[in-house]
Amino acid sequence: MNERTIAAAERALADFLQKTRRERDYFRGRLIQAENIPVPDQHMVTAAVNKLNWYLVEVNEIEGELEILREELEVYRAEQDTDQEEG
């Protein structure tokens, strides 16, 4: 993988991570609203809880992939520096 490919993948993952955080906050807000309803709509609450759990898993996976990409980028840059010194 070259540096541009890694940077593009990192940018895409960071954008997706930001989007999922916004959506997670939206569903968290729905849960708070549900607590204020005298008899909350259980379907809405259950859907929000399920969505929050899904986002939690997705965010953790994406953060892991982003960390791996950053490590690969550091290795790639180190290899490029070594090649330049030898050349």
Model confidence over 8-50: pLDDT tens digits? 777 887 787 777 777 777 766 666 666 665 555 667 777 778 8
User: Could you tell me the residue range of the domain that residue 8 belongs to?
Assistant: 3-86
Number of domains in the chain: 1
Determine if the pTM surpasses 0.75: no
Closest to 65 measured CA to CA, from 10, 5, 4:
10
Predicted pLDDT at 64 = 87
